[in-house]
Amino acid sequence: MGSFIAFQMSAFRWSVLLMAAVTTTLLQILSNLANDYGDSINGADHAGRKGPVRAVQSGLIKASEMKVAMIILSILSLISGLILLFIALEDIYKFLLFLGIGVLAIIAAIAYTSGKNPYGYAGLGDISVFLFFGCVGVMGTFYLHTLTFDPTLWLPAASIGLLSTAVLNINNIRDIESDKAAGKLSIPVRIGKKAAQKYHWTLIISALLLLLAFIIIEQAYGALAFLFIAPTILRTGWAVGKFETPEKLDPYLKVMALSTLFCVLFFGIGWMIF
C-alpha cells in the first residue's frame, strides 16, 4: 500500500519496494515461529486445541530447535532492514530512528506469545498488529520511498491495520475456548464470542470506509477497484457469526488474509490504470 501511493506521488523506488517486502516477509515468518513456540511453552497449544497442527506442540520440532530458528529469523530480519535503511536514508538521525522502529518490530514479533510476560496473553495483540502491520508498515514504507509524510496516509494505513487485526481476530475467535483454558486473555476471551463477532464487523466495515474516504479525498477513483474484493471481506463477518465448530472457521482465516492482500492489489493497480 505504501509503495502504490508513493508511485502515484512519483517517488517510487524498486529497491525500497523489494527490500521492504523481504523485511516484512521475514518479520511475518518470525512472528509465526515465535507464536508457535510461545503458545506451546505457555500452554495455549494443548491436546484440546482446534486448528492447524502446531510444530512444537505436536513434537514435529523441538522447542530448542524452534528457538534457534527464531534467532536466525531475527538476524535475517535485522540484516534485511539495515539494507533497506541504507538504500533509503542518508540522514544518520532518521536512520537511527527507523532502526529503532525496526528493532521494536522484531521484539514485538517475538514477545507476542514468548517470554515471561507475553503481551498477547494480556489481550494487546490487536494493538500491536494494528500499529506494525498497518500504521508503521504503510507510512514507514511510503516515507522510505518519498522522505515525506502526508496526513491523509493515516486513512489507508489505519485501514490495512484494521484488516490485519481482523485476521488475528478470526484466529482468536477460533481459539477462544482453548485460549480461555490456558489463561490467554485475547480480546474474544475478554469480551466473549458474541461481542467478538460484532468487533469483527466493526474492524472490516471501518477499514473499507477509511479506504473510501482516502479515495474521495485524493480523487483516486480508479482505486475503487478494491470494491471487487469487499464482498469477500464482508463474508468473513458472516462466517464468524455462523460457524459451528472451530475447524469450520479455519478456511476464513486464510480468506481474510488473502482478501487483505488482494484488496491492496486491486486498490493500487486500479489507481495506476484508471
Q: Please give the pLDDT value at position 42.
A: 73
Q: Please give the pLDDT value at position 244.
A: 77
Q: Please give the pLDDT value at position 57.
A: 72
Q: Is 14 a residue whose pLDDT tops 80?
A: yes
Q: Please give the pLDDT value at position 232.
A: 97
Domain membership of residue 20 as a residue range: 2-273
Q: Which residues fall within 8 angstroms of residue 43, CB to CB, at 6 or more apart?
A: 182, 183
Q: What does the alpha-carbon distance between residue 74 and residue 157 come to, in Å, rounded to a whole number? A: 25
C-alpha cell at 217: 479525498
Q: With a threshold of 0.85, does the pTM exceed it? A: yes
Q: Count of CB atoms within 10 A of residue 242's CB?
A: 10
Q: What does the alpha-carbon distance between residue 169 and residue 166 come to, in Å, rounded to a whole number? A: 5
Total of domains in the chain:
1
Q: Please give the pLDDT value at position 155.
A: 98
Q: Please give the pLDDT value at position 167.
A: 96
DSSP state of 123: T
Digit-coded pLDDT (tens) for 41-67: 876 555 555 566 767 877 788 888 999
Q: Which of 2-6, 115-119, 174-178 has the highest mean pLDDT?
A: 2-6
Digit-coded pLDDT (tens) for 112-164: 888 788 998 999 999 999 999 999 999 999 999 999 999 999 999 999 999 99
Average pLDDT, stretch 28-44?
A: 83
Residue 201 banded pLDDT, cuts 50, 70, 90: very high
Digit-coded pLDDT (tens) for 231-248: 999 999 999 988 878 888
> Chain-wide mean pLDDT for the chain?
92
Residue 86 banded pLDDT, cuts 50, 70, 90: very high
DSSP state of 53: P
Q: Is 165 a residue whose pLDDT tops 90?
A: yes
The CA-based dihedral angle spanning residues 69, 70, 75, 79, taken in that order and rounded to the nearest 10 degrees: 100
Q: What is the torsional sign of CA 18, 19, 20, 26? A: positive
